[in-house]
Structure 1
Amino acid sequence: MPVNRIRFSVAAHAAWAPGEETALAAMPAMLRRRASMAGKMALQAAYAAYPAPAAESAAFPESGRQDIPVIFCSRHGECGRSADLLIDLARGLPLSPTAFSLSVHNATGGLFSIARRDHANSLALAAGSSTVEHAAIEACSLLADGAPAVLLAMADGPLPPMYREFADCDEQPFGWAWLLTAAPDAAVPDTDTISLCWSAAENDCATDGKAQSGGLQVMRFFLNGEDTLQRHADRRLWTWRRERPQ
């Protein structure tokens, strides 16, 4: 059975959890007010993990600020805003142009790039229950294409009430961000080097809706310093591993 594999290092990381503030002091108030809750979670983590201009120049001296691509990934994205628009439409109410413009999947990435005046490549990604894995694959593709680093930010939360019966996992709010760089040939001390392998699986494991979402599982795997995480999602077996120096 074919097995595929990617490797990367995490140069910086940040995470948001319920109970923490999403002040977004680094973002202008006019833009900050437009972000949804999920957007604020992703942005809070992205600002914390993304290097400041001076730090970036030191870490990546051969690149400029605008050479670092950004990936915002979320399984549900702005689903709540879209649901509100559909409800207004069903009631015959006028639709807000601002709400409509912010209901798209790349709304958070757009706010981030506008606030930072950043013209770098910006992507918005959703890939079902394996969204986090496909985001990592996309990030490694950008690294292989010559990017000096890639900022990957992920956030999700519960589905809107009108869609909640379709939830297939325990949707808890979370947000995190990694600044990814190419992995060294071998793991080195004080460096988080992660590998991700995947292979075809005949069937996904049945769940009762109580399993954590993929993005939350990966966040906890990383923050808890675990060696391995295995997940079944979208007819594949995904295996995350933390590489340790020999």
Structure 2
Amino acid sequence: MLNNKVYINGIAVIAPGMEDSKKSLEILKGNMDWYPEALSKMTPSSLPANEARRTTTVIRLALKAIDSIDYKNDTLTVFASSEGDLDIKDKICKALSTKEKMVSPTLFHNSVHNTPAGYFSIATGIQTPSVSLSAGDNTFSAGLIEALTQVLIEKNDVLLVAYDNVIPSDLACFRHFEYPIGIALLLSMDKHLEAIGDIEVSVINNQKSVTKCFNKSLEKMRIGNPIGIGLPLIEALIKGTGVEIVIPYVNQNQLSIKVNNV
């Protein structure tokens, strides 16, 4: 097998009760239990005021996850969300069901799947290539494979941002998430001073047991949002644990992720 080892040089998790980086770190280390708390508005200070006012919870969740990552101006980006911004789609559909059928330009502007990537570019001035993808319940895994592939082929740093908000109440009977969550990872060919660990990823078709959260209090979030399947990987990296993490992938396959200390 070709060497596919990449370094993880930045990690962030944003979720209810995990906005404070120090508290989040203690939870991911297993030193504290996780309890959900209401998210703040997460107003992005990196955006001009007019642009910041137009952001939605999904956009702010993605941008908040990126805030603490130390990336370079030539970093590539992968944005991964299973559903995108269903609040916006819900509002557009309701507007179209009225007699007037008036859809706000801002709603239309924010309805596309790559909107968070666009706001990130506005906030940072970065104009490198960006991919926005969705793969249903396997979105985190698909985003990780895309980011890993770009690191190995482009020989460049790649910022993976995976995020999903809760579903609007009128759509919750069709699709339901318990909690919003955003996860950001900076993947690199080279080991930075801030390196947290390295990973080697393989696609496997033998059905191993999917890895559960080491901090049992996080299990509700792991199973309550598609992006949550990435939490055991984040825990292993934060704890410095050399271990194999198994998470679901597309077509009944799985990802075997070997986590190593640096």
TM-score bracket for this pair, using the shorter chain length: 0.7 to 0.9
Q: For residue 110 of structure 1, report the CA deviation from its aligned partner.
A: 0.4
- State the match for 2:202 in structure 1: 197
Note if 1:142 corresponds to 2:154: no
1:152 and 2:160 correspond = yes
Is 2:223 the partner of 1:211?
A: yes
- TM-score, normalised via structure 1 length: 0.78
Checking the alignment, whether the CA contact within 8 Å between 1:7 and 1:183 is kept in structure 2 is no
Helix, strand or coil at the partner of 1:88: helix
Amino acid at match of 1:8: V
Map 1:1-246 to 2 at 5 A.
6-19=4-17, 20=19, 21=40, 22-51=42-71, 56=72, 65=73, 67-92=74-99, 93-167=101-175, 170-182=177-189, 191-200=196-205, 211-223=223-235, 225=239, 227-234=243-250, 235-244=252-261
Give the aligned residue type for 2:13.
Answer: A
- TM superposition shift of 1:222: 1.0
Provide the alpha-carbon RMSD of the alignment. 3.0
Cα deviation for residue 113 of structure 1 reads 0.4
**Displacement of 1:216 after TM fit?**
1.5
Unmatched 5+ stretches in structure 1: 57-64
Q: Could you tell me which amino acid in structure 1 is paired with residue 9 of structure 2?
A: A
1:62 maps to none
1 CA distance for matches of 2:261 and 2:124? 36
> 8 Å contact 2:85–2:113 — kept in the other structure?
yes
CA distance in structure 2 between the partners assigned to 1:31 and 1:141 by the alignment = 32
Amino acid at match of 1:236: N
Identity of aligned residues (%): 23
**Alignment check: 8 A CA contact 2:78 2:158 kept:** yes
Deviation at 1:81, TM superposition (A): 0.4
Q: Structure 1 or 2: larger strand share?
A: 1
Match of 1:60 in 2: none
CA, structure 1 residues 155+8, in 2 after alignment: closer, same or farther (shift >3 Å)? same
TM-score normalised by structure 2 residue count: 0.73
Give the whole-Å Cα distance in 1 for the aligned partners of 2:203 and 2:152.
Answer: 19
Q: Which amino acid aligns with 1:34?
A: R
Give the secondary-structure state (helix, strand or coil) at the position aligned to 1:14. Answer: strand
C-alpha separation in 1, matches of 2:187 and 2:60: 21
Which residue in the other structure is 1:61 paired with? none
For the 8 Å contact 1:4–1:198, the answer to whether it is kept is no
